[in-house]
């Protein structure tokens, strides 16, 4: 009897395709196979096997089984669940799940080893090479160097058969964590939280805990104990720790090395393809027991996942809003449920969604209310920019400049926080008033001085800064409006010419190594003033950092979407939380035009609870998340009239359902991107409504014409 294999392909197809299993292939569910689709062979995953021969037409046969460990059942179930939740094709999350398996393997090393054959002519040089080769296989270059001879001598020995080539795969780089090592002695509240987490791990099964601790309270120390407990409980157990920034990954890896004596596996966009492949395989075979990674690590093929930690769980970078759209924090809870694993969400400023789950008892709630040791939370002062504005064309107000001077004189460090890359967010022509925008896109071009280019942060388009206005042709009329980090750096250099100043943004820190270098330089006191976007404002410990200056505290409040206040509070609490992490007291100065705003007042009073309470009350009245659900649909297309007609047709067929309201279609705030016009629908639903099912039903009722795309975002974070 032959068998039929259902194979999921990493493409936007609605379901798995059936293929005939060739004689002798002996597939199991999860196996990766090469499957013919049209003229191509695609890597796919077997998601089901059944006896049979297909219907009237013979099925196409699979081409081959690929040399990769199978995708475990939990990972397959997770992929299918995530697709259903996000109202997308299962091939989309599958593509993320098998990305590592598709990466090329590392080439084996070409080493030489002694064969025991005695060369015809035994010169002293040849003798030295053979002595060096006795130490084990080595590369030809290493052998020549060790023996102090030329490459020709080594080559001669190979030709005579005294040395032979051996291909050696790189050894597995995932040593077992050393569980006998002790962590730091915990203070009383840390110990209580650690015990509660250890109890959760000991209990086993699916459970979620919120580790809610102020910045510097030692959340990492506490969850390290939970990780140790999970690994000790079961010799096969695997742990995933997710972090929002590559810069932070490096620092947390160092803490894991200190605690467990070995490097954990690492997973993010900056890991080289051969290493990615090795890591993927090691996770699938269970050899990698601790993985530290970015959001996509959640799709790795864990076989014995027993604990997931989502550090800085409130962070916006857990939401991916292009391609396959997902929120990794929310999905981590689902993966935990599927795997029967514990989930720890850690933050000093938890999301309202998570706080709501803690308040209602769905999550355990563990609190750390003070910093570890003698460290104190910083003093926070609001600088009213209406009362003490910076001089014209400058961005740092006199009180902030004074504080920077004092900090510098005391030999301490300053962090200037501005969440804006580049030199200036807008370039304008003084002659005709034209604002320079990206071609075919509703977005200003951002001036970057280091590179001398104007860059669209939305599409990546860039061009050299012109010397004439492209609109009216006036010469030298282009003027830079507003500050980015590069401009603040320029001002700081002008004010403090002798200070050591650096910029930390995704333009100056392009990979994990560079991030580590800059973080280390800051931690070692080699920088006096660090001008940084959010890339450096999270999670780090800089012992000599005592002043945080927030250049534009109001920045995130403009535009005012659902989470503007929450996000601003979180970001600024994190940024100001970098100050005063050791014995030196810290302070934070927030420059604002709206000192009376509830977010600024809550930050000043360090009263998170009051802020959360007010924000929750507002969301509850409006029945918005976490008290209701939201979904967004963006329809886009190159032709305005065709898009308009399609959007209207779509509005007509919106399903009627109790507890669901549909708003739109309306022009999206970004109404034109890469030549495509965009319109949005917003759907609000009561909590008990299956919003994914609602959106899937709606989506199935329309057939968008070729050029029109429909993108669904369940629980949108961006409303542009
Ligand atoms: P959080 O993640 O809550 O901001 P961390 O875990 O990064 O805090 O801890 C802040 C700093 O305090 C780190 O440098 C950490 O090593 C140190 N620390 C925290 N708890 C302890 C402890 N029990 N013993 C020694 N150092 C600690």
**What pLDDT was estimated at residue 171?**
63
Best residue among 218, 257, 369 to mutate for probing ligand 1's pocket (most ligand atoms within 8 Å of CB) is: 218
Give per-residue pLDDT as tens, 501-513: 999 988 888 787 8
**pLDDT averaged over every residue in the chain:** 93
Contact 307, 316 (CB under 8 A): no
Strand-pair partners of 364: 209
Q: In the predicted model, what is the mean pLDDT of residues 356-362? A: 97
**What pLDDT was estimated at residue 514?**
86
- pLDDT bracket for residue 276 (50, 70, 90): very high
**What pLDDT was estimated at residue 270?**
87
Say if ligand 1 is within 6 A of residue 574 CB: no
Q: In the predicted model, what is the mean pLDDT of residues 293-297? A: 95
Give per-residue pLDDT as tens, 511-537: 878 888 898 999 999 999 999 998 777
Say if ligand 1 is within 6 A of residue 213 CB: yes
Best residue among 212, 309, 372, 378 to mutate for probing ligand 1's pocket (most ligand atoms within 8 Å of CB) is: 372
Taking the CA of residue 214 as reference, the ligand 1 atom at the shortest distance is 3
Best residue among 220, 224, 378, 578 to mutate for probing ligand 1's pocket (most ligand atoms within 8 Å of CB) is: 220
Q: In the predicted model, what is the mean pLDDT of residues 441-457? A: 91
Q: What is the DSSP string of 105-168?
A: PPPPEEEEEE-SPPPSS--HHHHHHHHHHTT--B-HHHHHHHHT--HHHHHHHHHTTSEEEEEE
End-to-end CA distance of the chain: 55
540 C-alpha to center of ligand 1: Å? Answer: 10
Say if ligand 1 is within 6 A of residue 221 CB: yes
Instruction: Say if residue 580's pLDDT is above 90.
Output: no
Q: In the predicted model, what is the mean pLDDT of residues 429-439? A: 92
Give per-residue pLDDT as tens, 67-98: 999 999 999 999 999 999 999 999 999 999 99
Give every CB contact of residue 561 below 8 A, 6+ residues apart in sequence.
718, 719
Q: In the predicted model, what is the mean pLDDT of residues 558-582? A: 85
Instruction: Say if residue 396's pLDDT is above 90.
Output: yes
**What pLDDT was estimated at residue 560?**
66
Closest CA to 562 of 496, 624, 635, 477: 624
Taking the CA of residue 185 as reference, the ligand 1 atom at the shortest distance is 23
- pLDDT bracket for residue 1 (50, 70, 90): low
**What pLDDT was estimated at residue 116?**
86
Say if ligand 1 is within 6 A of residue 277 CB: no
Say if ligand 1 is within 6 A of residue 190 CB: yes
| pLDDT > 70 in the chain, percent | 99
Q: In the predicted model, what is the mean pLDDT of residues 676-697? A: 96
SS3 460: coil
Give per-residue pLDDT as tens, 231-274: 999 999 999 999 998 778 888 999 999 999 999 999 998 898 99
**What pLDDT was estimated at residue 352?**
97
Say if ligand 1 is within 6 A of residue 215 CB: yes
């Amino acid at each position: 009897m032959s068998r039929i294999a259902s194979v999921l392909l990493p493409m936007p197809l609605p379901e798995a395709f059936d293929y005939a299993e060739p004689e002798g292939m002996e597939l199991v569910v999860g196996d990766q196979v090469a499957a013919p689709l049209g003229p191509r062979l695609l890597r796919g995953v077997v998601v089901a096997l059944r006896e049979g021969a297909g219907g009237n037409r013979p099925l196409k046969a699979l081409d081959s089984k690929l040399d990769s460990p199978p995708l475990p059942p939990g990972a397959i179930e997770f992929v299918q669940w995530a697709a259903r939740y996000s109202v997308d094709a299962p091939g989309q999350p599958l593509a993320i799940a098998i990305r590592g398996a598709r990466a090329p393997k590392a080439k084996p090393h070409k080493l030489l080893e002694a064969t025991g054959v005695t060369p015809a002519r035994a010169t002293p040089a040849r003798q030295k090479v053979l002595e060096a080769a006795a130490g084990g296989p080595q590369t030809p270059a290493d052998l020549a160097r060790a023996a102090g001879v030329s490459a020709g001598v080594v080559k001669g020995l190979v030709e005579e058969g005294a040395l032979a080539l051996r291909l050696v795969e790189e050894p597995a780089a995932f040593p077992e964590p050393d569980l006998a090592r002790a962590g730091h002695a915990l203070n009383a509240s840390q110990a209580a939280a650690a015990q509660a987490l250890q109890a959760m791990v000991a209990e086993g099964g699916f459970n979620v805990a919120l580790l809610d601790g102020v910045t510097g309270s030692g959340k990492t120390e506490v969850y390290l104990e939970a990780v140790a407990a999970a690994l000790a409980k079961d010799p096969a157990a695997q742990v995933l720790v997710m972090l929002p920034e590559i810069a932070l990954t490096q620092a947390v890896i160092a803490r894991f090395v200190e605690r467990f004596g070995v490097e954990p596996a690492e997973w993010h966009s900056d890991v080289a393809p051969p290493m990615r492949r090795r890591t993927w395989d090691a996770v699938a075979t269970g050899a990698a027991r601790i993985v530290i990674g970015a959001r996509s690590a959640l799709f790795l093929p864990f076989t014995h996942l027993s604990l997931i930690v989502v550090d800085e769980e409130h962070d916006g970078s857990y939401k991916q809003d292009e391609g396959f759209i997902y929120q990794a924090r929310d999905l981590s809870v689902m993966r935990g449920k599927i795997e029967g694993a514990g989930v720890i969400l850690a933050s000093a400023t938890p999301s309202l969604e998570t706080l709501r789950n803690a308040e209602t008892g769905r999550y355990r709630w563990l609190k750390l209310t003070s910093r570890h040791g003698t460290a104190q939370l910083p003093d926070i002062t609001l600088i009213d920019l209406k009362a003490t504005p910076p001089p014209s064309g400058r961005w740092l107000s006199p009180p902030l400049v004074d504080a920077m001077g004092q900090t510098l004189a005391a030999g301490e460090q300053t962090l200037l926080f501005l969440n804006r890359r580049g030199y200036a967010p807008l370039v304008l022509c003084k002659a005709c008033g034209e604002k320079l925008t990206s071609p075919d896109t509703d977005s200003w071009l951002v001036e970057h001085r280091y590179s001398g280019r104007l860059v669209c942060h939305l599409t990546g388009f860039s061009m050299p800064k012109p010397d004439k206005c492209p609109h009216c042709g006036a010469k030298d009329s282009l003027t830079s409006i507003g500050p980015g980090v590069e401009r603040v750096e320029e001002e700081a250099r002008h004010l403090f010419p002798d200070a050591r100043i650096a910029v930390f943004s995704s333009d100056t820190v392009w990979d994990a190594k560079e991030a580590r270098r800059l973080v280390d330089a800051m931690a070692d006191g080699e920088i006096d003033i660090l001008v940084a976007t959010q890339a450096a404002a999270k999670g780090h410990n800089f012992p000599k950092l005592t002043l945080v200056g927030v250049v534009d505290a109001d920045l995130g409040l403009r535009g005012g979407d659902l989470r503007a206040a929450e996000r601003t509070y979180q970001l600024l609490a994190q940024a100001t939380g970098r100050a005063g992490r050791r014995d030196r007291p810290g302070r934070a100065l927030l420059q604002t035009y709206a000192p009376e705003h509830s977010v600024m007042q809550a930050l000043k009073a360090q009263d998170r609870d009051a802020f959360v309470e007010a924000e929750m009350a507002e969301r509850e009245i409006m029945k918005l998340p976490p008290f209701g659900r939201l979904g967004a649909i963006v329809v886009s297309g190159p032709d305005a009239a065709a898009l308009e007609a399609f959007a209207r047709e779509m509005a007509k067929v919106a399903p009627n359902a109790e507890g669901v309201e549909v708003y739109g279609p309306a022009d999206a705030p970004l109404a034109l991107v890469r030549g495509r016009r965009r319109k949005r629908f917003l759907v609000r639903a009561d909590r008990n409504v299956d919003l994914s099912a609602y959106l899937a039903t709606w989506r199935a009722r329309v057939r968008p014409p070729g050029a029109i795309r429909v993108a669904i975002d369940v629980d949108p974070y961006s409303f542009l």
